[in-house]
Amino acid sequence: MNWMSLPVFIACLFSAQIIYSQDLSGLDIQRTNQPILIDGKLDDPAWQHAEKATNFNQFFPFDTSLAESQTEVMMAYDDQFLYLGAKMYNKSPDRTMYVTPSLRRDYRGEANDGITLILDPFQDNTNAFQFGVNPFGVQREGLIANGGSDPRDLSLSWDNKWFAEAQQYGDYWIAEMKIPF
């Protein structure tokens, strides 16, 4: 299977009022021969050469406007894992508080800061796998069915062994994910 052509969709949730999202199906995902250390730092050689997705649009209230808080997303893969690295900038440089309703694994995704990778390997825009992490490093994963238009279409009871870390910095936070094939 050619993983570089895998349809990948990123949904970034940054606040209770504004939701940002981006279709990354055109992102060139590079193969790496060196494992990436998942530590929330983006200092591995693979990230230095990875193509970055930028210029994210906001989804609400206007889906034609650039997001007020920008994000950079990079992806890579090797024989065992799909990697995601992301840098989420704060809307205001002095913003250091992040919103999360819970520090419990498999938290619900509404009204909190976080990044979620949604994989649609069937290319049907109906069923997908999601992997998310918030600025505190709390993970969530789930299965999406029926296009995800109803809250009941998301099952957080599905558990998978994958890895994520997040680190908070002055005016941004970083997330890294490592998802097994």
More confident residue, 8 or 37: 37
Amino acid (one-letter) located at 132: G
Strand-pair category, 71-77 with 30-31:
parallel
Q: For residues 130 and 151, which has the higher predicted lDDT (pLDDT)? A: 130
| Position 153 pLDDT exceeds 70 | yes
Return the exposure string of 41-78: e unless at least 16 CB atoms fall within 10 Å of the residue's CB, then b: ebebebbeebeebeebebbeeeeeeebebbbbbbbbbb
Map residue 25 onto helix, strand or coil: coil
The domain spanning residue 43 has which CATH number? 2.60.40.1190
- Listed in order, strand segments (DSSP E) in 52-147 are 57-60, 71-77, 81-89, 114-119, 128-133, 139-144
pLDDT digits (tens, 9 = 90+) for 71-118: 999 999 999 999 999 999 987 666 667 766 666 665 656 667 888 898
Greater model confidence, 175 or 171: 175
Task: Give the pLDDT confidence of 18-65 residue by residue, as tens digits.
Answer: 334 566 667 889 999 998 999 999 999 999 999 999 988 877 777 778
49: part of which helix (H) or strand (E)? helix 45-49
Reply yes or no on whether the pLDDT at 11 is more than 70: no
Q: CA 94, 51, 78, 104: dihedral to nearest 10 degrees? A: 20
- Counting the structural domains of the chain, the total is 1
Q: What is the per-residue pLDDT for 13?
A: 29
Domain that holds residue 152: 3-180
- The pTM of the full predicted model, rounded to 2 decimals, is 0.79
Rounded Cα gap, residues 133 and 135, in angstroms? 7
Q: Quote the pLDDT of residue 45.
A: 96
